[in-house]
């Protein structure tokens, strides 16, 4: 192998390594964890992670259980303005999150509340928010939120889980 070929190979290897390092750095700096919680007991762990991605303008809520459960809820064009409250309910069986989200599609609009309960033992997700989020709209009546959980119904679920 001639010195010229050796030098070209070393240069190509160095450029490739620097490119890979740049991708790793950008990826790690491109998102941040906004909220995180985990509980463990009886050989299992369960929890949630709320991440904000700067490059793709979205937030992602991931709910996991060590028994193989991984639910990923994407919030495209959304900025998490604040986490008002996160608390574990019913002896760590459920998580309650109170968030404020801002739609990046309409920068002039104010943020909207999102209250969420996930019950790990029952596998049930409850949402109270004026935003559509992951819910299917009711298309027949012309009122997209017609069958969504009302604030009173959400409060009833919250009181039932932890009176």
Q: Over pLDDT 70: what percentage of the chain?
A: 94
- Output the pTM of the full model: 0.79
Report helix, strand or coil for 98: strand
**pLDDT higher than 60, residue 27:** no
- 121 to each of 28, 40, 69, 95, 124, how far by Cα in Å? 33, 13, 12, 11, 8
Report helix, strand or coil for 122: coil
C-alpha 103/C-alpha 136 separation (Å) is 18
Q: What is the pLDDT of residues 91-144, one digit of tens each?
A: 999 999 999 999 888 878 889 999 999 999 999 999 999 988 888 888 888 888
CA atoms within 13 A on the CB side of 156: 5
Report helix, strand or coil for 53: strand
For 116, other C-beta atoms within 10 Å of its C-beta total 22
Q: What would the mean pLDDT of 150-155 be, rounded to a whole number?
A: 95
C-alpha 37/C-alpha 24 separation (Å) is 25
134 neighbors 118 (Cβ within 8 angstroms): no
**pLDDT higher than 80, residue 11:** yes
Q: Over pLDDT 90: what percentage of the chain?
A: 59
Q: What would the mean pLDDT of 155-162 be, rounded to a whole number?
A: 94
C-alpha 52/C-alpha 121 separation (Å) is 27
């Amino acid at each position: 192998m001639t010195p010229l070929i050796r030098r070209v190979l070393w240069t190509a290897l160095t450029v490739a390594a620097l490119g890979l390092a740049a991708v790793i750095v950008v990826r790690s700096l491109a998102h941040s964890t906004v909220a995180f919680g985990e509980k463990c007991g009886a050989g299992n762990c369960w929890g949630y992670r709320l991440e904000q991605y700067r490059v793709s303008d979205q937030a992602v809520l991931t709910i996991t259980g060590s028994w193989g459960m991984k639910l990923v809820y994407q919030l495209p064009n959304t900025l998490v303005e604040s986490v008002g409250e996160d608390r574990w309910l019913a002896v760590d069986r459920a998580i309650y999150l109170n968030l404020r989200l801002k739609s990046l599609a309409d920068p002039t609009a104010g943020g909207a509340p999102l209250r969420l309960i996930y019950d790990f033992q029952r596998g049930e997700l409850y949402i109270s928010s004026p935003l559509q989020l992951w819910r299917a709209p009711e298309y027949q009546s012309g009122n997209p939120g017609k069958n969504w959980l009302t604030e009173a119904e959400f409060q009833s679920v919250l009181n039932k889980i932890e009176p």
